[in-house]
Amino acid sequence: MSNLLLFPIMIPLIFATILMLFPKKIKMQRLIALIGAAATLLAAAFLLAKVYGDGIQVVTLGSWPAPFGISMVSDLFSALLVATSSLIVLFVVLYSFPTIGIRREQSFYYSAVLFLMAGVNGAFTTGDIFNLFVFVEVLLMASYALIVHGGEKQQLRESIKYLLVNIISSALFVVAVAFLYSVTGTLNMADLAVKIPQIENTGILTVIAVLFLVVFGFKAAIFPLYFWLPASYHAPPMPVLALFGALLTKVGVYAIMRTYTLFFTMNTGFTHELLAIIAILTILAGCVGALAYFDVKKIIIYNIIIAVGVILFGVSQMNEAGVQGAILYLVHDMMIKAALFFLVGIVAVIFGTSNLRQMGGLIKTYPVLGWTYLIAAFGLAGIPPLSGFPGKLLIVQGGFEGPQFWGSIVILATSLIVLLSAMRIFIYAFWGEPVETKPLKKSAYQAMLIPSMILVAITVFFGVGAELFMPFVSGAAEVLLNPSLYIEAVFKE
Amino acid sequence: MEIIMSVVIGFLFMAAVYLILSKSLIRIIIGTGLLSHGAHLLLLTMGGLGGESPPVVAEGVSVSDYADPLPQALILTAIVISFAVTSFFLVVAYRAYQELGTDNMELMKGTEDHE
């Protein structure tokens, strides 16, 4: 079935629309949201198997020939990300049941989550630069609704800043598309990849490449453009924060990876070196923040910024090890960030605060939570059998093979800081003198813990069984490093 | 013609940046409105301003006389998106004014338990 690659976009869209019909019936809302997320995950898994078996899947909407219609392209890279994001949304829906609260559930919470899912999956699948803009707006619009959902004072104050930054970056995206259109005369990504190498005036293309880096850098929170993220992400409730931390910045990272490997390859000496320098500065800026705060949410939020830097450094090397490592680390990071936010969310609920100084001694009363958090923290830092290790190893190897070996050294050194920042939560919250905790019903605790534990188990499996996933990753990297495969697949139709 | 449009768009961007950097929230929203005007006019200009006939198929008009239809479709999409975002932003600003009692961005700093 050739329309299979549209299913992960269409299913959440349809289910989100259905959910808008009866906002007050919470049980139905929960059931239908769960069915929608599970069905999307199933479709994404089928898509991944199909792309792995039969190669790149392409649908040009309305059967117009390739550069004239909107192409939807699903190569292994995008299919892998669609499957991962669908998995995370399913767990976020499960984690929302005990945590989000009835008042929010009754006002279109699950619709917004599924619209965000449709936008993210669409942004990963599209093969048209303006269509990417539209899907990014779909997911941003859903994220605006989610960040202000509930209308607390802090949420209102921070969502104004989040809205403003994203409106400016969207306007810049339109400007960048306008410039690209005036230079090349096309919007289809595969057609752009054909036309850009034919243009002799690479100066203007380099300017457009940097403009796209600025646009996607706002979304992905790279070094000078990450200033909006820590305060904005601190505001919404925990399941929303897990959703944002796992998916939203990764769309920006995906867009940078796609544009910088597919068509902005005319002047790699400048653009990719710039990307490498910015990636390293991003890691350093994130490390400063991760050590500076005594707030469990803030520490994990700054770890998002560090991971964005690590992934982009892998891409900037443009060799096989670097790109493979970046893909592995991207998939790992999406899952581990969601799991960590789930776990610190439980800790914050138990203590009634996210301030580390008011916590302590949790390991005696909640041992399972403690050990699960420890495994997730080791996974984040990249301790060998766990999921952060293979990706980071390949990225470091790519750095040593490529021109920026000093970047690899920075990544290795900052891994220790990542470990320190995550262990600090463990030491302050789980060791030491027990502090008075809020009474928590056993059923509510289990409803929060079980999805988090399953997600941590999946990341452990992803790390231990990295060999199993390598064929997918190397296939994805092959398409990124040889744009001709992508171009042929699109124009074959 | 493109030169004049570029200067006008540059002026719009300048005004938008100046307004966005001001203290009052409503001035910032006016600035985002000007910013999207500038972006949309830029999209129209970068598509090329040649072609006298509107892009509607008609008798006795050759292909080279039509204006480029693609930027017009893109602008139409971008306009509705920025319209939706602006209306949402205005409502959030109104709610924030009700809850926080100020529209001064200087007074909207910090977090609840700021360290």
DSSP secondary structure letters along A107-161: TTHHHHHHHHHHHHHHHHHB-BHHHHHHHHHHHHHHHHHHHSTT--HHHHHHHHH
Does A440 have pLDDT greater than 90? no
Please give the model's pTM, rounded to 2 decimal places: 0.95
Q: What CATH number should be reported for the domain holding residue B101? A: 1.10.287.3510
Confirm whether B20 is domain-assigned.
yes
Summarised one tens digit per residue, pLDDT across range A43-70 is 999 999 999 999 999 999 888 888 899 9
Q: In angstroms, what separates the C-alpha of A410 from chain B's closest C-alpha?
A: 29
Total count of domains within chain B: 1
Low-confidence winner among A425-429, A447-451, B11-15, B63-67 (lowest mean pLDDT): B63-67
Confirm whether B21 is domain-assigned.
yes
Note the helical H segments in A148-267: 153-184, 189-195, 202-220, 229-234, 238-243, 249-262
Instruction: Answer yes or no: do B47 and A153 touch at CB < 8 A.
Output: no
Q: In angstroms, what separates the C-alpha of A325 from chain B's closest C-alpha?
A: 36
Which of A392, A396, A401, A407 lies closest to A463 in space, CA to CA?
A392
Taking the C-alpha atoms of residue A213 and residue A225, their distance in angstroms, rounded to an integer, is: 10
DSSP state at residue A247: I
Does B105 have pLDDT greater than 90? no
Contact (Cβ atoms closer than 8 angstroms) between residue A232 and residue A159: yes
Q: What is the pLDDT of residue A436?
A: 83
Instruction: Answer yes or no: do B32 and A168 touch at CB < 8 A.
Output: yes
* B 59-98 residues inside an 8 A Cβ radius of A: 70-71, 74, 77-78, 81-82, 84-86, 88-89, 92-93, 95-96
Asked if B12 is an interface residue toward chain A (Cβ–Cβ < 8 A), one would say no
Confirm whether B7 is domain-assigned.
yes
Q: In angstroms, what separates the C-alpha of A211 from chain B's closest C-alpha?
A: 14
Q: What is the pLDDT of residue A433?
A: 86
- Of the candidates B39, B88, B108, the beta carbon closest to that of A174 is on B39
| Mean pLDDT computed over A338-356 | 93
Does A493 have pLDDT greater than 80? no
Q: What is the pLDDT of residue A338?
A: 96
| Mean pLDDT computed over B86-108 | 91
Confirm whether B58 is domain-assigned.
no
Q: What is the pLDDT of residue A438?
A: 82
As a whole-number percent, the residues of chain A with pLDDT over 90 amount to: 86
Question: Between the CA of residue A235 and those of A107, A156, A231, A320, A460, what are the distances in Å?
Answer: 18, 9, 7, 39, 30
Asked if A148 is an interface residue toward chain B (Cβ–Cβ < 8 A), one would say yes
Confirm whether B62 is domain-assigned.
no
∠ CA A220-A221-A225, rounded to 5°: 130
Confirm whether B90 is domain-assigned.
yes
Q: What is the mean pLDDT of chain A?
A: 94
Confirm whether B36 is domain-assigned.
yes
ipTM: 0.95
State the sign of the Cα–Cα–Cα–Cα dihedral A349, A351, A352, A358. negative
Tell me the sheet residues that pair with A73: A58
Does B47 have pLDDT greater than 90? no
Q: What is the pLDDT of residue A434?
A: 87
Q: What is the pLDDT of residue B115?
A: 39
Instruction: Answer yes or no: do A174 and B85 touch at CB < 8 A.
Output: no
Q: What is the pLDDT of residue B111?
A: 55
CB neighbour class for A297 (10 Å; exposed up to 12, middle 13-18, buried from 19): buried
Q: What is the pLDDT of residue A278?
A: 96
Q: In angstroms, what separates the C-alpha of A445 from chain B's closest C-alpha?
A: 26
Q: Which two tokens stand for residue B50?
A: 């040649």
Which of A200, A206, A179 lies closest to B47 in space, CA to CA?
A179
Which of B16, B64, B9 lies closest to A168 in space, CA to CA?
B16
Which of A287, A294, A437, A421 lies closest to A354 in space, CA to CA?
A294
Q: What is the pLDDT of residue A435?
A: 86
Tell me the sheet residues that pair with B104: B24
Does A200 have pLDDT greater than 90? no
Longest CA–CA separation in chain B, Å: 72
Instruction: Answer yes or no: do A175 and B112 touch at CB < 8 A.
Output: no
Confirm whether B86 is domain-assigned.
yes
Does B114 have pLDDT greater than 80? no
Residues of chain B positioned with their CB less than 8 A from the CB of A234: 111
Q: Could you tell me the residue range of the domain that residue B81 belongs to? A: 2-50+68-107
- Report residue A163's pLDDT band, with 50, 70 and 90 as the boundaries: very high
Residue A302 or residue A492, greater confidence: A302
- Report residue B51's pLDDT band, with 50, 70 and 90 as the boundaries: confident
Q: What is the pLDDT of residue B50?
A: 80
Asked if A174 is an interface residue toward chain B (Cβ–Cβ < 8 A), one would say yes
Does A72 have pLDDT greater than 50? yes
Q: In angstroms, what separates the C-alpha of B58 from chain A's closest C-alpha?
A: 22
